[in-house]
Structure 1
């Protein structure tokens, strides 16, 4: 049985105060509002719509949403970049690395997890078996699929919001755990994203992710050029990523490299 979701701790980016839910009965009235009047965030089809940049990634991933979890997209690419040493199901390793069973929470409470760039909710749905999860993404099409799939699976422990990874509308120290899977290499400013994730994690909170590194098939220039041209992929140098994580306030950085796929875990100081 999955955990039961509680209202996420959304906070105003301008004044820092907690946003409250305003729902007066009509669909057009559903919103999160700042008590100082500094922000109003509409809720459309059950998804809060925070400000996001208007760029090509949103349009591209909206188009990919219908096929993202089909046999034609994620699995073939994962096998290609991960190689024969990659785990059969990446989600199992991510959940194992999160160590949800070791989260220090009150009796009866579930650990809280933020899934950054959640896409269609592949990771969020798996984690929701043992935690209350908030998934955020800029692509409305991805989020609509994520909401539909979670409802299809009868999961109550997930909330989704349209939100940019470099501007998280949450209180500091709001989450026990964080994930960012298969997205860090797509983000324009990963350093800001890492800092934001560190800000919203509690001290000692674990951050787990997967990303692409300059290894295996991504050492080949034609493959790198195709990845850059199609998805604007910027694979990391593993040593550089370790330094970026430490600069963002993470320690105990661990890497598990499988082909060009890097599974990582770090702890917020």
Structure 2
């Protein structure tokens, strides 16, 4: 049994799912979820399943972490002031160390937090966060990205990491199942941002922390031609900073912290 199995619930009836014979099954209504190559393949909304960008990211997976993709794009978007290593910055913002926990630990309780990494891609953030977390579940809709993520995690010997195919706006995860949620470089790609934010809030325990990165219409993305290219190539829709702040609040988050570097926005919030 995987360490994250206890977080999975049936979207139809809310019952916890159990692992059996190469699948996850609902003992109440009979819904089953196939597991292929160690990755549960949860159903995703039709609009997401048929999205062209999923195929694009499947093809992108083999080169995503090579010098031809993420780092050049990150530098272009973030500019000279962006952190050299976004992964370490995100891990620090998640505050996984006990002394920075959002709530005081009970006496003698030293357990590290559990983390959900939404739109994990090839697991860049998932693997970095796993160093200090009790367990990390990475979810994404791209099968190609997830297969690459699992391969990298196995290669690094990470025993506290699991992956599942799942849509951000329809998470098959129990309410309040995670202490921390990360969502990095993806919100600007989601077809229904508000539904995704509501789901991120739902699966966080009260007082839990959301940390993420996205792109905003500043710096290079303040230019209409650059925004048009981003929209046409990967379907990216940069946010207005003020409206993004309002959307987080409407989703049930408070204690918002923003750090904009170029067109890259690092953010942190707390679940009410």
Relative to the length of structure 1, the TM-score reads 0.94
Whether 2:154 is the aligned partner of 1:143: answer no
Give me the whole-angstrom Cα distance separating, in 1, the residues matched to 2:198 and 2:40.
Answer: 23
2:7 is paired with a residue of what secondary structure? coil
Unaligned runs of 5+ in 1: 24-29
Alignment of 1:17-56 (within 5 A): 17-23=15-21, 30-52=22-44, 53-56=49-52
Contact 1:8-1:134 at 8 Å conserved across structures: no
Q: Deviations over 1:75-128 (max 9, x none)?
A: 000000000000000011101111111335663533100000000000000000
Distance change (3 Å), C-alpha of 1:97 and 1:179: same
Give me the whole-angstrom Cα distance separating, in 1, the residues matched to 2:267 and 2:89.
Answer: 10
Contact 2:258-2:268 at 8 Å conserved across structures: yes
Q: CA deviation at 1:39?
A: 1.2
Aligned pair count?
Answer: 260
Whether 2:70 is the aligned partner of 1:74: answer yes
Q: Deviations over 1:171-203 (max 9, x none)?
A: 101000001000000000110000001000000
Contact 1:5-1:156 at 8 Å conserved across structures: no
Whether 2:168 is the aligned partner of 1:170: answer no
Q: CA deviation at 1:8?
A: 4.3
Give me the whole-angstrom Cα distance separating, in 2, the residues matched to 1:8 and 1:78.
Answer: 35
Contact 1:116-1:165 at 8 Å conserved across structures: yes
Give me the whole-angstrom Cα distance separating, in 2, the residues matched to 1:81 and 1:251.
Answer: 27
Match of 1:27 in 2: none
Unaligned runs of 5+ in 2: none
Q: CA deviation at 1:7?
A: 3.1
Q: Deviations over 1:31-62 (max 9, x none)?
A: 10001134100100000000122221211100
2:5 is paired with a residue of what secondary structure? coil
Contact 1:12-1:38 at 8 Å conserved across structures: no
Contact 1:14-1:38 at 8 Å conserved across structures: no
Give me the whole-angstrom Cα distance separating, in 1, the residues matched to 2:215 and 2:124.
Answer: 18
1:100 is paired with a residue of what secondary structure? coil
Give the stretch that moved more between structures: 103-112 or 32-41.
Answer: 103-112
Match of 2:199 in 1: 196
Relative to the length of structure 2, the TM-score reads 0.93
Q: CA deviation at 1:6?
A: 4.5
Please report the RMSD computed on the Cα atoms of aligned residues, expressed in angstroms. 1.3
Match of 2:96 in 1: 100
Give me the whole-angstrom Cα distance separating, in 1, the residues matched to 2:224 and 2:30.
Answer: 48
Match of 1:120 in 2: 122
Contact 2:221-2:227 at 8 Å conserved across structures: yes
Give me the whole-angstrom Cα distance separating, in 2, the residues matched to 1:34 and 1:54.
Answer: 26
Give the stretch that moved more between structures: 213-222 or 31-40.
Answer: 31-40
Match of 2:11 in 1: 13
